[in-house]
Each structure stands twice: as structure tokens, then as C-alpha cells.
Amino acid sequence: MDTNIILQLENLVKYYGSGENLVRAVDHTSLEVERGRFTAIVGRSGSGKSTLLHLIGGLDRPDEGRVLIDGTDIFALKDERLAQFRRKKIGFVFQDYNLIASLNVWENLVLPLGLDNRRVDVAEVNAILQKIGLEDKKNAMPNVLSGGQKQRTAIARALVSKPAIILADEPTGNLDSQTEMEVMSLLKNCVQEFGQTLVMITHDETIAQMADRIIEIEDGKVV
């Protein structure tokens, strides 16, 4: 087991529909991601990148193929174990609807820890809050946060549980260009500092540039 490769996709296949309506969302894709790198997956909409991310994160099951995170075949795990695995190893940042509306910022941050029955290191969480610049909004509810602030909270949440790999699905898609830069800057910074791996989906070349490695997807295949 090459411990340097944190993520390995082996011949992943995911089709939707059948016959004429057959959509090859992921078509025999294999790739490897090194630990600690920022990898961007680029492609037009409809190219299957979202499906790919879902498969990587274990949110959807492939028709064929394996996904190995840290050497573990995640789809060989039972649902309960898979959820646990996700809690400990994977962090998600979505384009929107990242936060639970009825929880304030702090609670949203410690949510993954709570689900995993881990103790909350208050000092650590505060440090992260400071890093993303929301320490004065600890008790704020999501409905008063701007888009950028919400995404920053989401990033912080993904960091709090110290996952090995963070999967981001167009996290800056709904943001204006300045906030976009801010969020990307924070993301990159934090990931580097904590030594995590970042896999991000984007269709924007401006964002993709910032990655250490760019993978292009077209029609479900890696080009």
C-alpha cells in the first residue's frame, strides 16, 4: 500500500437511465491523488464531475469499480461503517445548503464532532474560527450570514473534524469574485497548514489554476 496515495479510483462506472436515455455520468474512470495536494477536477456542466465527487465521498454507489481512501475500499463497508468513515476521514464543502439553519455558527462547526461522539477541543475550534475570521459571529444564526461567511463557516466545519481529505463541490459557485478569492485563499491556506488533501470540483479555470494538479473530465472520462 503506497501510503502516499490517499485517494484511488479504479475503473469507476456510473450510468443513469437506460437505452436511449442512457447517461454515462462516470465512464471507466481511474485516477490517483497524492496526499497533501490540492487537486482540481475541471469540466463543463454535465461532464459528470459532480457524480464523480459523490462517488468519491461515498454518497452514491458505483455500478462498477472501487474507490479506495487511505487504502480502504469504501464501498465494501456497510452503511453504518461508511457513515463513520465519512465522519472521520472526509470533509465536505458544497456549493450551498451547507449549514443547518437551526444551529448557530459554533454548533454548525462542532456538528461533525458531535455526530462522531468526539470531545470538542474548545481552544482548537476557536483557533479555526479566528483563522476564518468569524470569531465574533460565533453565536450567529446562518440566516444573518452572507454567502461568503456561510462558505467560510462550511470550510471551517470541514476543517474542524480534521479529515484526511476534503471534497469541495464548486464551493465558490454562488459567490462574487472578491469573496471567491477570499474563500479560495482561506481554503488553500488552511489545507496547507493542516496538511490535508483537497479535491475540488470547478468549471472555472481561474480557480483551477490555484491547484497543484488539474484533472479534466469530459463525458465521464478523464482526458
Partner 1 sequence: MKMTTRVAFDNMKYHRSKNILIGIAIMLTTFLLYVVPSVGKGMIDTQNAAVNKAYPTWHAMYRDVDADTAQKLVLHHDIEQSGLMVHVGEMMLGKATVSLMYLDESAAGLYRVMPERGRLPEAEDEIVVSQGILEALGQQADIGDTVRVPYQVYRDGGLDYGQEKEFRVCGFLADSDLSREQKVYTAFVSKPFAKMEIPQEQLTYRILARVNGNNGVMTTAFEEQINNIAHQFGIDEKQIRINDDYLWANYIDPSTVPMIAGLMLIIMAAGIITIYSIYYVSINQRVQEFGRLKAIGATKRQLRQIVLREGLWVAAIAIPAGLLLGTAAVKIVLLNLGNFATGVSVYLTVLRQVIADGEVPTVYPWAYVLAVAIALCSVYLSLLKPMRTLSGVSEVEAMRYRGGAKKAKAWRKGFTELNIWRLTMRNLADNKRKSAVTIASMAITGVLLMVVATVLSCASPKLCADNTILGAYELSPIVEQNNREHPEREWGKIQQDNPLNETLKAQLEHLDGVQRVDVFSELHVRTDVMEEDWNYLNGVPEEYAQELERDIIRGAVTYEELKSGDKVIVDSILTCWYPELDVGAKVKLTIQDGDRMFEKEVEIAAVGNYRMGLSNYAFIYMAKEAVDALSDYNSSRYFHVIADEKYEPALARTLEELVLDSGNLELRTWQQQYAYWKNNMAVVGCACYVFLGILAACSVMNLINTMINSVHVRRKELGMLQAIGMSDRQLGKMLRLEALFYTFGTLAVSVGLGSLLGYPVFLYAKAEKMLEITTYRYPFAAAVIVSVTLFAVQEILTLALVKSVRKDTLIERVRFRE
Partner 2 sequence: MDGKSDKKLTKYFAAYFAFAVLFSVFLFLMESHHQAGVLQRELLLLAGHPELEAEIIGLWETYDNRELAALMQEQGLDAAVDTIAEKYGYRMWFGADGTFWIFWCAGMFIGAAVTAVWGGLAWRRQHKKDCFEEQLGQVCGCLLQFQRGEFGEIPTAQAGSASEEWMRLCERLRELGIYFVQLKKRLHDEEESMKALITDISHQLKTPLASLRISYELMTGGELTTQERQEFQIQGEKELQKLEALLDELVNLSRLETHMITIKPAAASLKETIAEAVGQVYMKARSKEIAIGVEMEGDIVVCHDVKWTVEAFANVLENAVKYSGTHTAVTLRVTLLAKNVLIEVEDEGMGIAKEELAKIYQRFYRGERARELVKEGAGVGLYLTRMIMERQGGTISAKRRAQRGTVFKMTLPR
- Name which of 51 and 161 has its Cβ closer to partner 2: 161
Q: How far apart are CA 132 and CA 176, in angstroms?
A: 18
Residue 165, helix vs strand vs coil = strand
159 contacts: CB under 8 Å, gap ≥ 6: 91, 128, 166, 190, 194, 196
**Torsion 202-204-207-213 (CA) sign:** positive
Q: Is the Cβ–Cβ distance between 179 and 147 less than 8 Å?
A: yes
210 lies in the site for partner 2, by CB under 8 A? yes
**CA Rg value for the chain:** 17
Query: Is 19 within 8 Å of 48 (Cβ atoms)?
Result: no
Q: Minimal distance in Å, beta carbon 102 to partner 1? A: 4
12 or 191: CB nearest partner 2: 191
Q: Which is nearer to partner 2, 54 or 152 (CB)?
A: 152
Here's the x/- map for partner 1, 27-66, by CB under 8 A: it reads as ------------------xx---xx--x--x-xx------
Residue count of the chain, please give it: 223
Shortest distance in whole angstroms from residue 90 CB to partner 2: 14
Is residue 184 a contact residue for partner 2 (CB under 8 A)? Answer: yes
Query: What's the gap between Cα 90 and its chain centre?
Result: 7
Does position 88 interact with partner 2 (CB under 8 A)? The reply is yes
CA–CA distance, 148 with 175 (Å, rounded to integer): 7
Is residue 104 near partner 1 by the rule CB under 8 A? yes
Select the binding partner of residue 148 from partner 1, partner 2, none (C-beta < 5 to 8 A, by kind). partner 2
Q: Which does 208 bind (CB under 5 to 8 A by kind): partner 1, partner 2, none?
A: partner 2
Binding site for partner 2 (CB under 8 A): 1, 3-4, 35-36, 81, 88, 131-133, 148-149, 152, 178-179, 181-182, 184-186, 188-189, 192, 195, 205-211, 214
